[in-house]
Amino acid sequence: MISYVTTDPVVQFVLLVLADIILSAAFFRQHPSSRLLVHVAFFASLTALLIANGIEPYRPGSAGITMTQGIFVGVAKTVWWIGGAMVLVSLVRMVRTFERHSREGRLLQDILVGSIYLGAGLSVVAYVFSVPVGTVFATSGVLAVILGLALQSTLNDVFSGIALNLGRPYSVGNWIELSDGVAGRVVETNWRSTHLLSGSNDLVVIPNSSLAKATLTNLSTPDESHGISLTLSVAPVRTPAAIQDVMHNVLLSSNSILKFPPPSVAISSISNSAVEVELSCRVADRTRVAAAKNELYDLAFRHCRAAALPLSTPNLTPSSGFPQGDQLHTPQTGSASRLLLSMQLFSPLTDAEREVLSASMSRKTFPKGAVIAEQRSTLNSLMIVRSGVLLVTRHELGIETELTRLAPGDCFGEGGVLTDVEEVGRITALTLAVVYEISQEALAELMRSRPILAEELGAILSQRLEAEHKLIGTFRTSSNDNHPHSLAEKIRRLFQLQRAG
């Protein structure tokens, strides 16, 4: 009896179908490659079973059989065609999974899957029910025309989507911009439309037919970097070459732009009222454009002020003349007092205290390439950049890494002079640089007359150490030592100060 059951083709057919359903649906639902192997094994086994029993699923009709046998043959052929379609569909889905374009490939996958199942259905009609497929198409021609006219807009979107996916002018994750100003990151493409996520986090849905006709700019190719340009107007009080040198320093001191391809400066126009300068550079991706522009505007202001180069003023006429740097800024641009006023570290000082401190400051000049401070050295003076660009690099485990660049108004050495800690990297002059120095004794004398300043400097230094932590990826001291109160206590001990009463 058991031998009869195991050799009966109907029983074998039922067991194969059940095995395929259980394995693919219950055990390998989340494993495309395993499901594909199960479907291939099922299709191969079913093919061998049908051929062994004289059933050719790819030939129409079966003569000389009973009704019961005819039903079995029809069911077996139908399952065989569906099984072949399932193998192809699993292969398509596995390829899409390996390519990791889950959203981008959905349209092409849907088209291929639909075509496969349509072909399987037509094959069942032709080889199981022995109905000529050509006759079916001929009798449904009128209906197809009616549906085509009714779905004209939808079909236009569908075929436009197919063309866009085959042409691949963009992919999911790319930033694109259309001729009408619509811009955003592509998050999905489907049968009818493409979805963009705009910079304001709004979802923009564009029909594929409209997208296919639009002039499209892909901002993410050939790479993710994005070009930006700024136009600045400065007063014509210097030669264009001197203005160009100042703007080169602006680009050189930026930490937000790419160093390659090299940024450039171009004089776009010149007149009696202004010199127009265009700065061109690139950033790593489009999301950094705003931060880079803000930094460049800030650096342009600082470098122009350090070079006594006033920005163009619209209400000035050529006959009235342009004010010089000492007329535009009070006190004189670049003076020690002005530098202190521009620094957050000394914002708590009064005007009188600032004047006393500025009188003790000394000026130092460093040529291009000079090493101002070595890594792990402890500076006993606070250094403030008056003009030029400085580079901070860290050498560790045989690798040299750029940490940051310093521009006019930036300072270094505050950790050593206030809390006796080492410098995180080597400081080198990228251009001719002028630096003002404040000795530890000058700071000590100021804080002895005003002990509360230790608290204020401790809070500001804590913020600077947090920023430094982000640059080097680790704290130079413990997190408790970086607390404002702990830093203030260190400053008091180092300078032998009494607590403010």
Is residue 479 classed as helix, strand or coil in its secondary structure? Answer: coil
Which range, 160-164, 184-188, 198-202, 419-423, is most confident? 184-188
Domain presence at residue 300: yes
User: Is the domain of 487 the same as that of 355?
Assistant: yes
Q: Are 413 and 490 in a shared domain?
A: yes
Same domain, 471 and 351: yes
- 127 and 197 part of one domain: no
Residue 104 has pLDDT above 60, yes or no: no
- Domain end position, chosen among 326, 348, 367: 326
Q: Are residues 431 and 463 in the same domain?
A: yes
* Per-residue pLDDT tens digits for 346-357: 777 788 888 888
Tally of domains in the chain: 4
Q: Is the pLDDT reported for residue 6 higher than 60? A: no
Residue 145 within any structural domain of the chain: no
pLDDT at 195: 92
Give yes or no for a contact between 267 and 276, defined as CB atoms under 8 angstroms apart: yes
Mean pLDDT across the chain: 79
Is residue 79 one of the residues assigned to a domain? yes
One domain, residues 234 and 205: no
Whether 241 and 208 share a structural domain: no
Q: Which DSSP category does 332 fall into? A: -
Parallel, antiparallel, or unpaired: how do β-strands 390-396 and 264-270 relate? unpaired
> pLDDT of 238-281, one tens digit each?
999 999 999 999 999 999 999 988 999 999 999 988 999 999 99
Cβ distance 226 to 219 under 8 Å? yes
pLDDT for 19 equals 80
Reported confidence tier of residue 48, pLDDT bands at 50, 70, 90: confident
> Per-residue confidence at 5, pLDDT binned at 50, 70, 90?
very low
Mean pLDDT of 34-39: 79
Domain hosting 184: range is 169-218
pLDDT at 481: 54
Instruction: Identify each DSSP E strand in 358-449 by its residue range.
Output: 362-366, 371-373, 381-387, 390-396, 399-406, 411-412, 426-429, 433-439
- My answer on whether 214 and 264 are in the same domain is no
> Are 423 and 404 members of one domain?
yes
In a domain, 440, yes or no: yes
CA distance 128 to 306: 88
pTM: 0.64
Q: Which of 260, 291, 326 is the last residue of a domain?
A: 326
Is 411 or 100 the better-scoring residue by pLDDT? Answer: 411
pLDDT attached to residue 21: 77
Write out pLDDT tens, residues 306-344: 888 998 876 555 444 444 444 444 434 346 887 888 777
Report d(CA 20, CA 84) in Å as an integer: 13
- Verify that 124 and 17 share a domain, yes or no: yes
Percent residues over pLDDT 90 in the chain: 23
Q: Which of 86, 64, 89, 61 is nearest to 74 (CA)?
A: 61
Domain end among 326, 359, 386: 326
Tokens (6 digits) for 356 = 């006393």
pLDDT (0 to 100) of residue 179: 85
What pLDDT sits at residue 387? 93
Query: Which has more confidence, 182 or 323?
Result: 182
Q: Residue 314: what pLDDT?
A: 62
DSSP state of 421: -
Q: Does the pLDDT value for residue 476 go beyond 50? A: no
The pLDDT score that the predictor gives to residue 38 is 81
Residue appearing with tokens 């050509």: 134
Q: What CATH code is carried by the domain that includes residue 459?
A: 2.60.120.10
Q: Does the residue 261 lie in any domain?
A: yes
Query: Are both 242 and 273 inside the same structural domain?
Result: yes
Residue 368 belongs to some domain of the structure? yes
Specify the 3-state DSSP secondary structure of 171. Answer: coil
Which domain CATH number covers 189? 2.30.30.60
Select the more confidently predicted residue: 150 or 49.
Answer: 49
- Do 412 and 483 lie in a common domain? yes
Q: What is the CATH number of the domain that holds 310?
A: 3.30.70.100
How high is the pLDDT of residue 304? 92
154 domain-assigned: no
In a domain, 159, yes or no: no
Cα distance between the two ends of the chain = 105
Vertex 289: Cα angle to 286 and 292 (nearest 5): 140
- 3-state SS of 441-455? HHHHHHHHHCCCHHH
User: Mean of the pLDDT values across residues 114-126?
Assistant: 79
198: pLDDT strictly greater than 80 = yes
